[in-house]
Amino acid sequence: MKTLKSKNKIVDVRYDIRRKIGSGGIATVYKARDRVLNKDVALKKIHDKYAENKNFIEMFKREAVNTARLEHENIVRVVNFIEEDESYYIVMDYVDGVDLDYLIKRCRVLDISIPPLVAFHIIGEVVKALDYAHKLKDKNTGRYLNIVHRDVSPGNIMLYYDGRVKLADFGIVQMGRKRVKNRKIAGKVSYMSPEQARGGSVDLRADLFCCGLILYELITGKKVYAGNSNMEKWEKAKKVEIDYELLQQRCKSRYLRAIIKRLLKENPAARYQSAVELFIDLKRYFMKYGGYEDIKKEYKNFLKLSLTKELSDAGKREGQNEIDKRFHEESTNINNPVKYKRKLAAKGGEKEEEESAVDAVLDASILIALILIFLILL
């Protein structure tokens, strides 16, 4: 088994590793360049310590297979699964952005609140993805697959810098009968429906409950299940202990509070019964503020405000990626590749100087013309 470096590694003769994006409990994600399609992708590699564990490998494969079925604009696509050198990879769409968990933490550092419009827009996009997944049918039999994500949480909600929102990580998705009793509890304790926490039967309404948990956190700045340990949070999840007084203090809109409260009903029968039913109520709220496009514009403006540094860094990386790409294409015939790369990087600055010089000449010409006109008028 070979250890994957964050650069200069080619996977499956096709994917050129550029940099490490992040690492979790089971896998590490890298940014890579697809040499065939000439586009950026994300490579998710299972940690070496789990690569010989059949259960983890099976779960990893299941994530790839489950997500590959899903083709929707609000779902991060899986495009390939690779087994190479006793290592396992999932190839996904590259997310040029951050996850919602990062945005929440960033806002805490900046001491700014996430506006209700922004919070409900994000969840509205997630609800679109869930509606698609919940209604997906088997192409051969025409029967509903009854997909339940079971891990709708901020870390799995991806926020693109260009304004798109996508749901990711269908690794513990449930497929089959409408309601299935859990053999084991899966998901994150802080974002779990009571029936899921109790190890009971779950259906699509469990995913909607999780949307309520996220909305509550975005609006109040606090998790519903706060605690010093997972066991403490788990007990709160089973008992559905929710501080509605805090919600009332932070959310002045009775309409929005009603949506959140209905999502967080302990009895699934009292919740929204489908994602589309929830989206209809969200759409009514959006219409009060000019409609979807106006809300999306508000959301993108908030990203610019809260992620200024990240957007700047992303722009710099994009520029560096272009330099790297041109360098790899042209440096094979250069005697001194390092010197050539530096020269290539400097071209951008030279171009800016040329443009500034042209602007200066134009400004001087305009000034002279104005002086001549003034003299003629005299």
Walk along the chain (378 residues) in steps of 10 and give the mean pLDDT of each run: 63 94 87 95 92 87 86 94 93 95 96 94 97 92 90 95 92 53 62 93 95 97 91 91 93 95 97 97 88 90 93 71 48 41 44 43 53 57
Residue with tokens 């400004």: 363
Q: What is the pLDDT of residue 368?
A: 64
CATH number of 97-308: 1.10.510.10
Please state, in angstroms and rounded to a whole number, the distance separating the CA atoms of residues 312 and 239. 44
Please state, in angstroms and rounded to a whole number, the distance separating the CA atoms of residues 112 and 105. 10
- Catalytic residue numbers? 151
Please state, in angstroms and rounded to a whole number, the distance separating the CA atoms of residues 64 and 57. 11
Q: What is the pLDDT of residue 164?
A: 96
Residue ranges in 194-331 assigned as alpha helix (H): 194-197, 204-220, 230-239, 244-250, 254-263, 275-287, 292-306, 308-330
Q: What is the pLDDT of residue 202?
A: 92
Q: 124 to each of 72, 94, 110, 278, 347, how far by Cα in Å?
A: 14, 22, 25, 9, 44
Q: What is the pLDDT of residue 139?
A: 87
pTM, rounded to two decimals: 0.79
Do strands 15-23 and 157-160 pair parallel, antiparallel, or not at all (unpaired)? unpaired
Cβ proximity of 9 and 82 under 8 Å: no
- To which H or E segment does residue 131 belong? helix 116-135
By CB neighbour count within 10 A (0-12 exposed, 13-18 middle, 19+ buried), where does 196 fall? buried
- Three-state SS at 170: coil
Q: Which of 249, 278, 253 is nearest to 264 (CA)?
A: 278
CATH number of 10-93: 3.30.200.20
Q: Which of 162, 92, 124, 156 is nearest to 307 (CA)?
A: 162
Question: Which residues 6+ apart lie within 8 Å of 256 measured at CB?
Answer: 116, 120, 219, 285
Please state, in angstroms and rounded to a whole number, the distance separating the CA atoms of residues 198 and 84. 39
CA 35 to chain centre: 24
In the chain, what are the domain boundaries? 10-93, 97-308, 339-371
Please state, in angstroms and rounded to a whole number, the distance separating the CA atoms of residues 247 and 249. 5
